[in-house]
Each structure stands twice: as structure tokens, then as C-alpha cells.
Chains A and B, each alone.
Chain A
Amino acid sequence: MVSVALSSPAGAPAPAPASGLRLDVKHVSHAFQLEGAPLPVLDDVSFSAEPGSFVALLGPSGCGKSTLLRLLAGLDQPVTGQLAVDGTAITAPDPSRILVFQDPTLYPWRTVEANVSLGLEARGLLKAQRRRVGDALSLVGLSGFASAYPRQLSGGMAQRVALARALVNEPRLLLLDEPLGKLDSLTRITMQGEILKLWQDARFTALLVTHDVEEALFLAERVIVFSERPARIKADVTVDVPYPRHRGDPRLAELRHHLLGLLGLDATW
């Protein structure tokens, strides 16, 4: 549905439907320089993600998951190790791989519409593909707010705009860095459903960083569990529950118990 809604203007030949990228992370280690001393954040991280899959990266706050997303976006280079999409090494940012931050970070001086247009404008495609901006806005249910400014939006609406700003570029890899982390729990539940639907429609590869066990299990096909900083992979758990999932599913509860155990929190069960 999304590929239809976001296709080029009528008349022009429709581009091949955007499909997800295959992702390979091999022996990646990374460290920050903090007051001269190296602070290791990632320790020999390796995993792969199939095209079009939904993988959650679960771990304690500040363990280095977000750093991994920045590396995948091409914003930073790892100290050691290789990152590749479809076999090509990641060396720089590319509009096929888009990062959605925890804060919506909309440009306050631009209207909602102009914020969503950003990627097309930056690549000089806005004139030809302006229609996609409206399509992306209606996809996240904000058609009526095109001319509003970010300060006029609630937290959930702003994060929807941030999603639209990413989706308008038809990303093949969507990197979600705790995108719902700052929302109230009701809005979060609603938007989890929305993200799932967007993923099912657009078939991009999704990588979701979260510290919310329930969120990881409700959305992802696979949950990779990280340790405390420096982050290393503790476990790779397949969520063998078909969509549409139900939060009360006993299998999800079982997995949740298992994951909390891996995080050392099963005493609360």
C-alpha cells in the first residue's frame, strides 16, 4: 500500500518497489575519546539482518545501542570492524538508510510540510516529487497539519512528523533510535501499532533500539539482547509469534520473562 501511495506522479513509470536492505555487522568495536581516555562502547558486535526483517536491539540505557545505529547511518565510522548493506560497506550517510531519533528534532522554523520535504529538497527532487510529501503526511495521519509549526504539535504528533520525514525518502533501512521513548504510555502503544503497519506496508528493513522489553516483543521478529557498556551481544532471540500479535499472548509473556532474565531483572517477575 505504501509503495503505491508513495510512487512517483502518475504517468511516469513507477520505480521498482523499495525493498529492504540486507544488513551485515561484523566484529564491530567502537570507543569514544572521553577526556583523553578511550571509553569503549561496542565490543565485537556481529549480527546480520535479512532484507525486510524487523530486528529489535534491546539493552540497558546508555549501553551503546544508539552508537551502533549512528554507525549504520554512516554518521560515524567504527574503530574496528565492518558494516555493510547489501554487501556494500557503509562509509557515509545515504538517504536509503534513515535514522529516526528519540527526539523528533524537527526544524522549528519550518512548517510540518517543509520539515517532511527536507530530504527531497536536499536532493533536489522536491519539484518533481512534491506529491510524496502529502502522501507521507497522510500516511502518518497528519494531513490537516501541513502548515502547522513544530511548537504547535504534541510529542506524539511531532514524532509522527519525524517518521513521515523519514518515510518520504522511501528508506530501505529504517533505524529507529528509541523513537517512542519520550512519549506517554498510551500514545506509545498506539504508535507501536502504527510503526508495525508502516513496516508491513513498505517492507523496509527495520532496526529498533529500545529498552522496553514489551515493545521489542510486540514489534520485532528478532530481539538481540545487549549487555551493559561496552555493549556485547548476550542473546539473539527469535519471536516466534505471528502478526497480528496480542499483548496478552502467553507466548509473548514467556519470552518477556526470558528476556528479563537475560537482563538480570527476572527477580521482578
Chain B
Amino acid sequence: MTDQLIETPAIAGAPRRRTRDHAERVPLWHTGLAAGSVWLAAAAYAGLVPDADDFAYTREFAFGLAGIGGLILLAALAGPVAGLRLKALRHWGPWLLILPLGLIAWEAVTAKLELLPRPFFVPPQALLEVYLDDWPKLGLSVVASLKLLAWGYAIGAAVGITLGVSIGWWRIAGYWAHPVLRFIGPLPATAWLPVAFFLFPSSWSASVFLLALATGFPVTILTWSGISSVNKDYYDIARTLGASQRFLVLKVAIPAALPHVFVGLFMGLGTSFAVLVVAEMLGVKAGLGWYLQWAQGWAAYANMYAALLVMALMCSSLVTLLFRLRDRTLAWQKELVRW
């Protein structure tokens, strides 16, 4: 067998040589210069124009804006000198430009001109105040939420995958589980809330149950559909090569079904966020949902917005994490949705 028998390889991941050409001049980052200037302008507006009322942390807010503006300007000016391309930063240039404009507008309609009714609308420095003064409580709330979510989601995902594989693999499991899933599955997990709160010893364990339920249903259904859509030839191949039942399930069926399983995991994560917030608002005495509820009760609207922001950050990070995990696990797939 000679080399010329081999066809041209269609390898996508061939080693790419990285060339860093020092002779090439790095162009000036105009957007960066503009963005830095706007941040400084926002700082000047916040710090030099007097507030319409007595707001705490206006100075700190202005200093913060100035600091960001200074860093952007520094990067824009130092980049060409040091020969740094700053590709990632440049990509976000337009965003860096528009953000301070938004902050100026926000600052104008709240702190400076008070066009929006208080206390429902708060200036940006009020959020800063919450983060600087109330961070221990916010931090504990995040930890509590993450802990509850982790337990519920992990149990739900584990049970869902096991159940989905069983239903897809053993006819008898499918016979018994299918009607139950069809009847109970579509019921929103939050509908169980009143029942769960008195059936379980604590509102915390009840919430874990609800989270597991919310995660488990989509994971079960998608795992099941993944298992049943596996190319039957894969099994024949493995059987002729001497594979056992165990091998067929663990090394053929489950890896082949994984793309579906991940879709289920994404759906489950989405529904579990909803259940988490509701459970914390109605029963559990900790977590971001509880913090939101508590802030609203005291008409502490700044705290509410601050908590919402943190919650968005938390949920988005978790989804990103799951995407990363999927991209690593399913590296063999070609077209994947980008997050």
C-alpha cells in the first residue's frame, strides 16, 4: 500500500502556523480613543454637574467612570506603541462607545434632572451603593441560590438521563413510564409548589424536588428521543465485533444520544431558573429570589435592580458554562450553535 493511494486529506484542524509580524504597523484604534473620551465625558457629567437631590456615591461613580475611560485611552494609545493588536478589546469597541452614552442618559433622567418618578427609578450610583454596602448579603444570596440550583439540577439531570436511557432501551420501562410522563410531564413544576411545601420536611428540600422535576422532564424526553434515533447499524456493528449489552448502552447508545441529551439539559436549565426564583420568593428564606422579594417589601428598588443584574449575570454564566461543556464533549460535531 503506497502513499499515493491515500486521497487528499480533508483535515480541518491541520496545525496552523501563527505568524506575528512585528514589522507590520498596528493601526490606531480610533473607536477606542472615542470610547475613552466618552467615558471621561460621562465621568465629568456625573462628577461636575450637581445632583438634583442628595445621592450617595456620586463621586465614587464618577471616579469609576473616569478610571474605565483612562484605561481604554491608555490601551488605545499604548497599543500601537507596544505593537499590541488588542483584537478582543477592539471587537467590543462599539459597545464600549455606546455604554457610557447610555450611562449619561440614565444619569441625566434620574440623578441630574429627576425626570423619572422616585423611588421606582434609581440613578446608577444607587446601584453602586448597593454593591459597595450590601455585598455580603448579596453574595450569600448568590451562594444560597447556586447551592439550591446545583442540588436540584444535578438530581434532575441524573434521574432524567437514567430514565431516558431506560425508556429508550427497555420496552417494559417505556410501557410504564410513557403514560406517566405524558400525564405529569407537561404540568409546570411550579404547580406542585403548594403540595411540595407541605409534603416535604423543609421548604428547601421541597424546592430541590421541584427543581429536579423541572429539569428532569425535558432531560428524560430528549434523552429518550436521542436513544431511539440512534442509527441501528451502530448496534449491528458493535454486536458483530463482540459487544455486550452493557457496552451497547454505555459506549454506543449514550454517546450517540448525547447531542439530544444536551438539548434537554439546556431546556432543563431554563425551566429550573424559573422554578428557582419562584421557590425562593414563596418559601425558601435565602437566595436571590428571596432577596428580590425582600427588597421589594422594603421598597428598596435599588437593591432590586442590583439583584436582578446579579441574577442575569449568574444565569448567563451558567448557560455559558453548559455551552462550554457541550462544545468540549461534542467536539466531533461540525455545526454547533454559538452562544
Contacts and interface: CB of A to CB of B under 8 A. Distances in A.
Interface string B238-250: 1111111001000
A110 B244 CA distance: 19
Contacts of A110: 255, 332
B242 A122 contact: yes
A154 B10 CA distance: 7
B332 A122 contact: no
Given A141-B1, A152-B12, A73 B255 contact: no
A193 B153 CA distance: 56
Given A119-B241, A151-B332, A194-B1, A156 B234 contact: no
Given A118-B238, A187-B7, A197 B1 contact: yes
A208 B242 CA distance: 22
Interface in B3-20: 3, 5-13
A122 B243 contact: yes
Interface string B208-251: 00000000000000000000000101101111111110010001
A109 interface: yes
How many A residues are at the interface, by size bracket? 35 or more
A118 B237 contact: yes
Interface string B312-330: 0000000000000000001
A94 B332 contact: no
Nearest to A115: B237
A142 B1 CA distance: 10
Contacts of A98: 240-241
Q: Quick one: which of A73, A101, A108, A150 has the most chain B CB within 10 A? A: A108
B68 interface: no
Contact of B1 (A105, A108, A139, A144): A139
B3 A141 contact: yes
Interface string A186-212: 010010001001000000000000000
B252 A95 contact: no
B240 A142 contact: no
B237 A94 contact: no
Contacts of A152: 9-13
Contacts of A149: 332
A94 to B, nearest CB: 7
Interface of B: 1-3, 5-13, 231, 233-234, 236-244, 247, 251-252, 255-256, 258, 330, 332-334
Interface of A: 70, 73-75, 93-95, 97-99, 101, 103, 105, 107-110, 118-119, 121-123, 139-142, 144-145, 148-154, 156-157, 165, 169, 187, 190, 194, 197
